[in-house]
A and B are shown apart, each in its own frame.
Chain A
């Protein structure tokens, strides 16, 4: 078992606000890893940086031992001109001892690498069918080119069929197969969360990042969610989640990291974190 995801001294500054400050994380293969912390601790910012939505101000993010922002990947995703500029800047920074140039892969490229995510406030394609939502998730694993799409070549047709079958399997897996023709927006809230997970799984991730998957769930739904997450994990997908519901977090995670004010204040198994005075203080405050 190796490390799937590693962040080294990652920081993010928004204007005057240091949202994330020198955070080091290590997510091990096959585990369920949770990130908790009070509101505004920088958890979602961390997620967004890993997913390529934000560019870190400094620091490095590595996926399976390799930097998530290699110059070579960059070439593929940006115009050569820009990539050239970054390559030079990278050289200069390394030479001056500032570490590598923090580069951001664009989100789709991160997903293609094998990191999928869900959102805190569900972001489904509301006006597409449930099945289509999952099929969009498989987009980056499909190979049909424009001409395949235009001419509907046998290759495209068979791929389409395969993708559809897989999407149906995934829907069955999350228990939504009955709704496959429904608009995503017509699903009840809990189903929407499950659909978002199915869509993320469709890209075949090695690491699944869940942003508050239990938010707004009733206890019964939470139990089902925990089961689902464990099932996903048992299929070899590493889970990295942000969650506020401590019951859920404590129950399923092997390790927990706690952020407060953008800094890591604790890390370890649930029991240890729960009793860490700094954590208690971060959550409940120091008694006045």
Chain B
């Protein structure tokens, strides 16, 4: 349930400063909803993390996890809030990554600053979201899923085959790394391959994103999404422009993905089309939000962390564990079997089982949103306006 007793914010003319204050006060109010203490402690811990743990590879893992969380939060807007199954989410990720890689690298010898493109690529991805969404969002849910899947297959192939612009299969190498310019006596700082500054960037982006998403969820737009998800005909008759509203969900979701894409290519120094396949991104992010609980920010974050840990740590380490276990047990019949390789090869299988299992046993996910929970247990009226209108 959303909060229904917000105190009025200090009202003044909507200057930029006031807007920022507005954001801030909303964020603090979001914290205030529960007890804000655990969140602040968590945030402080996260800020202090690089000082506590000096191992750069751990920081690297943490920032990578952060990127996945960002992706999951974005898809959650589309699937969790607006109820649109987007199977081509990776396409927007790719668009974000490539827009940065093409506009800030030696590829065309254009070097637009990272900070600008971090925002701009979100807009570019959103633009593509609108271009794809505008004609397709009036389709029924399952058609939309397949159209986005098709789009998700097209985009990496276009990047792969337009070698003149994108470096083809080899991708673009030598993407500019972010740096903080010399201003006000600050000596300037190049990120290079040090994961720590990236970690802070993604942390900041995440904190801001979460605040924005909380705002969104409790706004006019958030209510409209919920309404459309529940009953599109009633929503339309109540005065919600369903197409525009769905489009906004699509575009906002895409912009998060574009965001993550730019960040990703800057961090990795290289983009290649392989990184954006259905199997590598779209499905993984979907599993994250399905597992964690569609529509619930905490759930989505937890789901993202679990799946990230599973695919980047457990499945990578498991062969080693199993092999050492195997040699320590030393059973003759096990000697010929390479358990480790089986463990590593079972990623698809595990993902499949998670998706099917969750939908059958706990469709609301591990940490569901209250609304989604009942909804998935009891079902909603699922009838698009387009159906009702025949083939209008």
Q: Which residues of A contact B (CB under 8 A)?
A: 48, 51-55, 77, 79, 104, 106-109, 111-112, 116-117, 119, 123-129, 131-132, 135-137, 139-142, 144, 146, 148-161, 163-164, 180-181, 183, 185, 199-200, 203
* Interface size bracket, B side: 35 or more
Is B310 interfacial (CB-CB < 8 Å)?
no
CB-CB < 8 A to A127: which residues of B?
226, 230, 371, 374-375, 380
Q: A136-B223, A153-B18 are in contact. Are A53 and B237 (CB under 8 A)?
A: yes
Chain B residue with Cβ nearest A163: B220
Q: Are B230 and A180 in contact (CB under 8 A)?
A: no
Q: Are A126 and B380 in contact (CB under 8 A)?
A: yes
CB-CB < 8 A to B243: which residues of A?
106
CB-CB < 8 A to A109: which residues of B?
241
Q: Which of B361-386 contact A (CB under 8 A)?
A: 371, 374-375, 378, 380-381, 385
Q: Are B389 and A54 in contact (CB under 8 A)?
A: yes
Q: Which of B199-228 contact A (CB under 8 A)?
A: 212, 215-216, 219-224, 226-227
Q: Which residues of B contact A (CB under 8 A)?
A: 1-2, 4, 6, 8-14, 18-20, 22-23, 25-26, 134, 212, 215-216, 219-224, 226-227, 230-231, 233-243, 248, 252, 371, 374-375, 378, 380-381, 385, 388-390, 392
CB-CB < 8 A to A52: which residues of B?
236-237
Q: A125-B231, A128-B226 are in contact. Are A151 and B215 (CB under 8 A)?
A: yes
CB-CB < 8 A to B222: which residues of A?
149
Q: A53-B389, A111-B237, A132-B223 are in contact. Are A149 and B216 (CB under 8 A)?
A: yes
CB-CB < 8 A to B18: which residues of A?
153-154
Give the distance in Å from the alpha carbon of A176 to the alpha carbon of B241 in the complex: 27
Q: A151-B19, A203-B238, A203-B239 are in contact. Are A146 and B221 (CB under 8 A)?
A: yes
Besides A53-B389, A149-B216, A157-B22, 13 other CB < 8 A contacts?
Answer: A53-B385, A112-B239, A119-B234, A126-B380, A136-B223, A136-B238, A137-B238, A137-B239, A153-B14, A154-B9, A156-B220, A159-B220, A185-B378
CB-CB < 8 A to B388: which residues of A?
48, 53-54
Q: Are B242 and A125 in contact (CB under 8 A)?
A: no
Q: Are A136 and B240 in contact (CB under 8 A)?
A: yes
Which among A77, A153, A185 has the highest number of chain B CB atoms within 10 Å? A153
